[in-house]
Amino acid sequence: MNDTMDQSRMCSVGLLTTDCYDDLGNFVIQADEAGHDFIVTPISHPTFGRVLNQDKSISEQEQRNWKDRPVFDRKDLVIQSAEWSGRAVGLLATWIQLDSSDPEVRICSELALKQEMDWACHISLSGLIFPALPTGSLFNTARVINSAVKSMSYTQFLVRVPLTDKKDVQGNLSWKQWNRFRTLTEYNTKIHVALEITSELPSDKQLLEMWLAEPIKAVIVPAEIFVENAKGYPVLSKPHQKFIQTLMDKMKPDMIVTLPPTQIHKKATPQSYSDYINYLNRHLPPLNDVDQFATGYQDFLQAPLQPLMDNLENQTYEVFEKDPIKYQQYEKAVYKALLDRVEHGSDYVTTIMVVGAGRGPLVNCCLRAAEKSERKIHVYTDLFDRLQNAKADLWGDKVTLVFADMRKWSPPTKCDILVSELLGSFGDNELSPECLDGAQKFIKEGGISIPANYTAFASPLASTRLNNNVAAYKDLEHYETPYVVMFQQVCELASPKALWSFEHPNTQGDIPADGDPMNNLHNTRYNHVEFTVKHDMIMNGIAGYFESVLYKDVIISIRPKTHSPGMFSWFPIYFPIRTPVQVPKGSTVSLQFWRLTDTKKVWYEWTVTVQGTNGEEMTTLPIHNVGGRSYYVGLTQSLARQKNAASLAKLPNRNEYCESDYAPVSKYNGLQHDNEL
Amino acid sequence: MNDTMDQSRMCSVGLLTTDCYDDLGNFVIQADEAGHDFIVTPISHPTFGRVLNQDKSISEQEQRNWKDRPVFDRKDLVIQSAEWSGRAVGLLATWIQLDSSDPEVRICSELALKQEMDWACHISLSGLIFPALPTGSLFNTARVINSAVKSMSYTQFLVRVPLTDKKDVQGNLSWKQWNRFRTLTEYNTKIHVALEITSELPSDKQLLEMWLAEPIKAVIVPAEIFVENAKGYPVLSKPHQKFIQTLMDKMKPDMIVTLPPTQIHKKATPQSYSDYINYLNRHLPPLNDVDQFATGYQDFLQAPLQPLMDNLENQTYEVFEKDPIKYQQYEKAVYKALLDRVEHGSDYVTTIMVVGAGRGPLVNCCLRAAEKSERKIHVYTDLFDRLQNAKADLWGDKVTLVFADMRKWSPPTKCDILVSELLGSFGDNELSPECLDGAQKFIKEGGISIPANYTAFASPLASTRLNNNVAAYKDLEHYETPYVVMFQQVCELASPKALWSFEHPNTQGDIPADGDPMNNLHNTRYNHVEFTVKHDMIMNGIAGYFESVLYKDVIISIRPKTHSPGMFSWFPIYFPIRTPVQVPKGSTVSLQFWRLTDTKKVWYEWTVTVQGTNGEEMTTLPIHNVGGRSYYVGLTQSLARQKNAASLAKLPNRNEYCESDYAPVSKYNGLQHDNEL
């Protein structure tokens, strides 16, 4: 099992040369013998650069002829045939200057670039690397490449980007150029990054993490950044090791090494550099439980009505129920509550009602807590088929299964403790507030709810992959729908902040002691949170999390800082935004969030603004999901409708749909009031 | 004729009261008798404000009952029935606080607002005015209104916005709040502005002009801003008069006056204020020729394949040919050229070739110029049916009609002067460069072209109306297509700057002396222009113009600063952008523009960036119309294709399609080179 897994985490390692080999086949064989999986070589000889005619080495007529018919002389080609294409990535000419101030140089550079690209596609090279973005204006470079990659299908296009700019190691100049380029090219999915690791790394961790949100397809590790270890072999510094392993872990890039023109590490052989990279690759930190569980679903948008969800249901059902942490925390919460509420040795039988019991584990938690605390309990719970077996086999008389629809049920007694697990990734997004309002009438005066409260958190997020996954749908609806996502290739611009909380039982007086609330206005929320951002960054969406106090100090959380270790029942939630937003250094990103309701549904609206250091308005996005037009969770009792809606933000195998006994449509009816879609 | 026109420019005048009349009918009659067309009145009494319960005047239960069922007590209503709806506009309650920091006040405000709106729609009020945007945060206000107007159809929704903020008369704080609001509501076409004129006006003209780009449906002129004239009557200051008349002229808003609670202008009667407004309205500056010609087409996008274009063709055909200025300038240019090139009294017969002669006026220009200059000429021109009559009737032997396709024609002699009129609104956008390259072989050594050159200009533009006209198509293509538009409700952020020029004859050596160029690369262009913007503004698109030197100092221009007075043959061109862009005060807007070509077509690409005072990247838009994917002008010889493409940027009745004898497809063929869509 572990071996298979490691295989799936292995990166190819290639050898890059800037020399032009006459006998490319020989070079491929040598590289192969030294343990490289592929090679990276110039496509054409520097002689081809004469077409720019900057040194007037060819006649105007010759140049004009070439412009009329830009084809290669065979002698200009390094990669002359398709023979090695499958094992070769081509380097585009370094003398190409698409943003030259000389129009003639620009035009000829464009022709030359296209000529090389055409040739690469013709011989089916596996990839192409564009040498460098210009340091100043790059508009024409962006325009030309954006247009030229359109006709590429098999061959991958990569832009070589240094991790840091030599003149700006502690800043992100290099990323900014890349960011400008990809914004101009509108996140063109045919353009990837070949990230070149530089010898100096920025000390600010975020400047490294930003790259994890980028479409990195290859990582170039030049021989020059290796250092010599005590024995004279080339190795990388600890920070380099760590960052490269993170890249391997999250992006599975092709790794590219070089050989120094002259020996720079005493004991280095042609194998040393690739061997070392392979060594790092084999020694990635092992996957934790959550990672293992999430394998294959990273950055995958779990969207409404997605067939995958149904497939997963059977596949991972057993896994979920065995979340080691979630049920452990519930048990601990019930245990502590029993200790607090009932004296040791008392005969008092604590009535516990388990709502949305699903498949039984919550009932087990209660029973275990009772045993451990040596308190007497009786559990009422709603019925699912499988629970009947559990009752017969394990629970006996301590548990009463309620066959009736709980909404219409009159319990023989009210409960001391109401235990529920109706939380979504954003806390309240699976209608826990509404469901618990409905169940509140079953709680005795002074009784408690487990969970006692839950809080939604949000933070601005950068992620090319998530951006593109949403954009691929090409419609408004998908830009205004939250998704459950296991984040991988993302970068948070700042730590999440709390938006709002719900407390249970609700003591705000909005809910009649014995009955249902007439309207759901007490469950609406509105808040905004602000984040001041240290570096120039980009924002593609909003990450959402929850944190819940089950009882006193017993919490469950998926908020990164307080994440319950090993708990894998919830992935984060992702709210897309309709346009990527530039976030200049020092500016303030403000997220506006609403939880809204009408008689039939609950939905979120959100928007983003960016203000400069002087409060100037840099960006304001339109409010997303106006009136729940693209996404909502239904409050009506039609299960079908709820299923579609509620499943939106659910983990694959969870199916405790909230049967809200809730605000019948006729009760809440303003004059001509119509919020319907 | 003039009377009819003035009628079409007349605005309604209404009377606004903030008093709550018990007998609304009586008030309507009084207002009518004092010359008002409609009234503006509160919908409900201030008593309705008790629902917020800020003074605890009602019980919690009463408030809760109202929240469950938010309907009016009849006694709270000022407009109690539909009786006066057609003549009444409602004022929404001023105590509504949608952005209160108290959630209870926010929620009740939202309910109250919707209750008033529901009532207004129920009784079919013609309009509703929201009293004021909050001065601080307005996110919830935007969210509520954006959502609430969705169900409105007949009743108009207006937001009252003061022209200037009292604390910021020389700035644009008030506009900025409005701008933020409408950005959040995504230019919701159901939300309009009721612009309230303030007593002080900003001295910077641009701060007034910004409002001309806004969706102003009503203009409120409070009695308090009137001053007393020598005779004691209320009048407005000259700057007020001028601005209000501009608004009347460009927006045709409903005008709204008020009556002061106590007499503030000695001789004022209840009629005085509306009389004065009517007076201003009757004395608008008369329409000039261009305006008259454009009536009904202001801000109208002349788009490809639009039926209107064909309709117009017959309707305005005569008008166009009589453009008093265009042909006068051509005549002057030929006249001056003849004087310069031929000595007085010489027998030399100047050969003039008229290309794209259309319907003959250019030939007439040449003949008149010859007569006036007393020089001998012979004109060759390509054939259109109607020219035959002209030849028979007027021209006689001085003109040779060429029946052959000019591309295949071998002229008996080359010409001294090539006269053409192939310009589009952006200069080169109707392929004048390509056509004249083709015709260049007919020019003698030392011969000239009229025009001698033309230059494209561009500037950033704000316009809600143009923004919405493009957005209405809901597709990418329309956001990436330039349109010919007679601007009206627009504001230029800065004066246009020159992008590029074309010179004729082309002496760059790219065109073989006797034949066609092999490629069209010499007609590609790339440039960028930067504009530093004085005030916080918004940008919705790019305005384009041309300026052309026909001969020496004889020019024609549609660039505002140098516009040939009275010339109406060209409207400006408008390049949309895909997202409105915030332009903070002091920031730099940069427009990138390309004119591009392949073997079959010519197209533009463009993009916009905004940088802060420290060079920080605030906004970068993706490059528009990549590879001509949404819009191009065809170079092939299929007339059908050209017609669609070229007509894009054409004035309605012009049909001299360029028959470019140009770069056959087979000539320009790189290796696998494929730029096709």
Confidence of residue A404 (pLDDT cuts 50, 70, 90): low
Which chain A residues are Cβ-neighbours of B176 within 8 angstroms?
Answer: 617
Provide φ and ψ at A89, rounded to 5°: -115, 135
* A448 or B643, which is more confident: A448
| A611 interface with B at CB cutoff 8 Å | no
The C-alpha atoms of residue B2 and residue B9 are separated, in whole angstroms, by: 11
**Of A53 and B282, which is predicted with more confidence?**
B282
pLDDT at B653 over 60: no
Mean pLDDT for all residues in chain B: 87
pLDDT category, A655, cuts 50, 70, 90?
very low
Mean pLDDT within B194-203:
96
Q: Looking at this protein, which amino acid is placed at residue A625?
A: N
Instruction: Please compute the mean of the pLDDT values over residues B6-26 and round it to a whole number.
Output: 93
pLDDT at B507 over 80: yes
Across residues A422-430, what is the average pLDDT? Answer: 92
B44: number of CA atoms within 13 Å, CB side? 26
Q: How confident is the model at residue A560 (pLDDT cuts 50, 70, 90)?
A: very high
What is the value of ipTM here, to two decimals? 0.89
Instruction: Pick the range with the lowest mean pLDDT from A435-439, B75-79, B366-370.
Output: A435-439
B139 to chain A: closest CA residue: A592
Is the Cβ pair B671, A585 closer than 8 Å?
no
State residue A674's pLDDT score. Answer: 33
Helix (H) or strand (E) holding A274: helix A272-282
* Rounded Cα distance, A616 and A623, in Å: 19
Q: Whats the size of chain B, residue-wise?
A: 677
Q: How many CB atoms lie within 10 A of CB A544?
A: 31
pLDDT at position B646:
34
Question: Would you call B374 helix, strand, or coil by DSSP?
Answer: coil
Please report, for residues A9, A225, A464, B100, B597, the alpha-carbon distance to residue A253 in angstroms, rounded to integers and kept in the order given: 10, 19, 15, 51, 37
User: pLDDT tens digits for B415-428?
Assistant: 999 999 889 999 99
B672 interaction partners in chain A (CB closer than 8 Å):
118-119, 121-122
Q: Do the Cβ atoms of A518 and B68 come within 8 Å?
A: yes
Alpha-carbon B391 to chain mean position: 41
CA distance B285 to B265: 28
Contacts of A594 in chain B (CB under 8 A): 140, 143
Residue B641, classified by CB atoms within 10 Å of its CB into exposed (0-12), middle (13-18) or buried (19+), is middle
Say if residue B665's pLDDT is above 60.
no
Looking at the annotation, which residues of A are catalytic?
421, 430
- Write down the pLDDT at residue A307: 36
Give the model's confidence band at A664: pLDDT under 50 very low, under 70 low, under 90 confident, else very high: very low
The shortest C-alpha distance from B70 to chain A (Å) reads 5
- Chain A residues with CB under 8 Å of B168 CB are none
Judging contacts by C-beta atoms under 8 Å, the chain A residues touching residue B139 are: 528, 592, 607, 623
Quickly state the pLDDT bin for A388 (edges 50, 70, 90). Answer: low
- State residue A568's pLDDT score: 87
- Could you say which residues from 568 to 597 on chain A have a Cβ atom under 8 Å away from some Cβ of chain B? 579, 582, 584-585, 587, 592, 594
**A403 pLDDT above the threshold of 70:** no
What integer pLDDT is reported at residue A385 of this predicted model?
Answer: 55
Residue B513 pLDDT > 80: no
Is B668 annotated among the ligand-binding residues? no
At A273 the pLDDT is: 98
pLDDT, residue A306, reads: 40
> How confident is the model over A246-282, as pLDDT tens digits?
999 999 999 999 999 999 999 999 999 999 999 999 9
Q: Which of A183, A186, A623 sits opposite B142 (nearest CB)?
A: A623
| Residue B405 pLDDT class (50, 70, 90 cuts) | low
Write down the pLDDT at residue B310. Answer: 42
- For B226-253, the pLDDT digits (tens) are 999 999 999 999 999 999 999 999 999 9
Domain covering B286-677 assigned CATH 3.90.1150.10 in the classification:
no
Percent of chain A scoring above 70 in pLDDT: 86
User: Which residues of B, range 400-459, sit inside 8 Å of A by Cβ?
Assistant: none
Indicate the range of A373-377, B298-302, B334-338 predicted with least confidence.
B298-302
In B, minimum Cα distance to A673 occurs at: B118
List the CATH code of the domain at A2-285: 3.20.20.150
- pLDDT for residue A384: 58
Contact B114 A670 (CB under 8 A): yes
Strand-pairing partners, residue A555, are A549
pLDDT at B309 over 70: no
**Percent of chain A, pLDDT > 90?**
73
Number of Cβ within a 10 Å radius of residue A118: 21
Give the residue with greater pLDDT, B191 vs A291. B191
Out of B526, B618, B621, the one facing A584 most closely (by C-beta) is B618
Catalytic residue among B110, B214, B331, B421: B421
Residue range B9-283 forms a domain whose CATH class is alpha beta
For B458, phi then psi, to 5°, come to -145, 150
Best probe of the B interface among A121, A147, A149, A603, by most B CBs < 10 A, is A147
**What spatial distance separates the first Cα and last Cα of chain B, rounded to whole Å?**
50
Helix (H) / strand (E) element for B64: namely helix B60-68
User: Which pLDDT tens digit goes with each residue over A141-157?
Assistant: 999 999 999 999 999 99
Instruction: Give the span between the Cα atoms of A608 and A624, in whole angstroms.
Output: 9
The mean pLDDT value for A576-589 works out to 96
| Lowest mean pLDDT across A77-86, A471-480, B388-397, B662-671 | B662-671
Residues of chain A positioned with their CB less than 8 A from the CB of B111: 521, 670
Q: What is the CATH number of domain A323-418?
A: 3.40.50.150
What mean pLDDT is predicted for residues B628-645?
61
DSSP B623: P
Structure confidence at residue B369 (pLDDT)? 96
Tell me the average pLDDT across B54-59: 88
- Average pLDDT of span A298-305: 76
DSSP state of B564: P
The reply to whether omega before B451 is within 30° of 0 (cis) is yes
Does residue A634 have a pLDDT over 70? Answer: yes
pLDDT beyond 70 at A557? yes
Pick the residue of A626, A667, A676 with the most B CBs within 10 A to test the interface with B by mutation: A626
Chain B CB contacts of A146 below 8 Å: 623, 626
Tell me the DSSP string of B149-187.
Answer: GGG-SSSEEEEEEESSBTTBTTS-HHHHHHHHHHHHTTT
Work out the mean pLDDT of chain A and round it to a whole number.
87
> Which residue in A119, A617, A622 is closest to B582 by CB distance?
A617
Class of domain A422-667: mainly beta
CB < 8 Å from A in window 512-551 of B: 518-519, 521, 524, 526, 528, 536
pLDDT for position A70: 94
In terms of Cα–Cα distance, which of B208, B207, B311, B190 is closest to B250? B208
Say whether pLDDT at A358 is over 70.
no
B484: Cβ–Cβ under 8 A, 6 or more apart, which residues?
B302, B425, B570, B571, B572, B573, B574, B648, B649, B650, B651
Tokens 């937003």 sit on residue: A581
Q: A173-184 and A139-148 are packed helices; what angle lies between their axes, rounded to 10 degrees?
A: 50
Lowest mean pLDDT among A13-22, A460-469, A667-676: A667-676
Would you say A405 and A473 are in contact if contact means Cβ atoms under 8 Å apart? no
Question: How distant is the Cα of A516 from the closest Cα of chain B, in angstroms?
Answer: 12
> Closest Cα of chain A to B494: distance in Å?
19
Mean pLDDT of A282-306: 81
Q: Say whether residue B72 is in contact with chain A using an 8 A CB cutoff.
A: yes
State the smallest CA–CA distance between residue B82 and chain A in angstroms: 15
> Which among B67, B115, B669 has CB closest to A519?
B67
Q: Average pLDDT of A409-433?
A: 90
Please identify among residues 122-151 of chain B the ones whose CB lies closer than 8 Å to any CB of chain A.
122, 137, 139-140, 142-143, 146-147, 150-151
Contact B283, B12 (CB under 8 A): no
Residue B3 pLDDT: 44
pLDDT of res. A383: 62
Q: A70 vs B670: CB contact, 8 Å cut-off?
A: yes
Q: Which of residues 332-371 of B touch A (CB under 8 A)?
A: none
B217 — pLDDT class (breaks 50, 70, 90): very high
- Beta-carbon separation of B111 and A670 below 8 A: yes
CA distance A259 to A277: 13
Is A121–B672 a contact, with Cβ atoms under 8 angstroms apart? yes
Predicted confidence (pLDDT) at residue A675 exceeds the cutoff of 80: no
- How far is it, in rounded angstroms, from Cα A331 to Cα A376? 15
Domain extents for chain A?
Answer: 2-285, 323-418, 422-667
In Å, how far is A501's CA from the nearest CA of chain B? 14
What are the residues facing B448 on neighbouring strands?
Answer: B417
Among B214, B331, B430, B656, which one carries the catalytic annotation?
A: B430
Cβ distance B151 to A674 less than 8 Å, yes or no, reads yes
- State which residue of chain A sits closest to B519, comparing Cα positions: A68
Q: Closest residue of A to B521, CA-based?
A: A107
Provide, as residue numbers in chain B, all residues whose Cβ is less than 8 Å from the Cβ of A605: 143
When CB atoms are compared, the residue of A526, A626, A673 closest to B118 is: A673
Confidence grade of residue A40 (pLDDT, cut at 50, 70, 90): very high
Task: Show binding-site residues of A for S-adenosyl-L-methionine.
Answer: 317, 326-327, 405-406
pLDDT given at position B14: 98
Question: Which residue type does B325 have?
Answer: I
Annotated binding residue B233: no
Q: Is B405 annotated as a binding residue?
A: yes
pLDDT tens for B150-176 read 999 999 999 999 999 999 999 999 999
B421 among known catalytic residues: yes
Q: Is B33 exposed, middle or buried (0-12, 13-18, 19+ CB in 10 A)?
A: exposed
The lowest-confidence range among A477-486, B5-14, B453-462 is B5-14
Distance (Å) from the alpha carbon of A5 to chain B's nearest alpha carbon: 40
User: What's residue A661's pLDDT?
Assistant: 28
CB spacing of B612 vs A584 below 8 angstroms: yes
Cβ(A258)–Cβ(A227) under 8 Å? Answer: no
CB A526 within 8 A of CB B103: yes
Question: B570-585, pLDDT tens digit by residue?
Answer: 999 999 999 999 999 9
Name the residue with higher pLDDT: A552 or B1: A552
User: How far B596 CA sits from the closest chain A CA (Å)?
Assistant: 11
CA B69 to chain centre: 46
More confident residue, B514 or A49: A49
